[in-house]
Amino acid sequence: MPRADRQNDQAFKGVNVLVAITGGIACYKSASLVSRLVQSGASVRVVMTQAATHFVTPLTFRTLTGRSVLTNIWDVDDHPESQHIGLARWCHAMLIAPATADIIAKIASGLTDDLVSLTASALPRSPKITPLLLAPSMNSDMWANPIVQGNLATLREILGAHTVGPDDGWQACRTTGEGRMSEPDAIYDALAKIAAAK
C-alpha cells in the first residue's frame, strides 16, 4: 500500500462515518467505498433513500458494515432519541454518495421528507460543525443546470459543505460529460482530509 494511502487510512481510526446513499446508478460505487472505510478502522453506518434501494439493497451495506441500515424516517434502531438526531450526533462526518440533484435541492431548501435530508439537516453546528461531504452524480445537462449549481453554492456558502467531483466520463444515459460520480478512491481521500481534522 502506498505511503499516502497508509496515512489516509490512519485518518479513520476512531472516526464515526455516516454514509448516505441516494437514488442514482452510481450507488454501486458506494459499496466498495464503504468496504474500504470499514477496513480502515472507521465505524460506519449507512442510511439510504427509498430510491437508492432500487439500485443496491440495504443487505449489501449491512453485510459490509455489520450494522443495520436505515431506509426511512420511521425505522427503529438502537438510538434512544429520534434516529436522525441520534445518527447526526453520532457521526464525526457525513458523506452523501451519490449526491443526486434531488438530495442537493432538498438540503439546500431545508426540505426533510426522507431520512438522508432529515439527518443532514440535524448535523450539529456547535460547539463544532460536523462536516458534510457531497459526491455529486447526475447527467451532464442536469449538472450544468444553474439551479443545481445555485443549490450547491448555497450548501457550500451557508452550511460549509464540501464536495468531491463530479468527473467527466461515460454516463448511464449513454453520453459522456461532466456529472459522473468520482471514483471511490478519490472520495475516500477527500473524506480522509476532513476526518483528519476531526
Question: Considering just the CA atoms, what is the radius of gyration of the chain in Å?
Answer: 16
179: three-class secondary structure by DSSP? strand
Assign 3-class secondary structure to 142-172: HHHCHHHHHHHHHHHHHHCCEECCCEEEECC
Residue 173 annotated in active site: yes
Q: Using CA atoms, how far apart are residues 107 and 196, in angstroms rounded to an integer?
A: 25
- Given 31, 159, 173, 186, the catalytic residue: 173
- Which residue spans within the chain are E strands per DSSP? 16-21, 43-48, 93-99, 132-136, 162-163, 167-170, 176-180
Tell me which residues are annotated as active site.
173
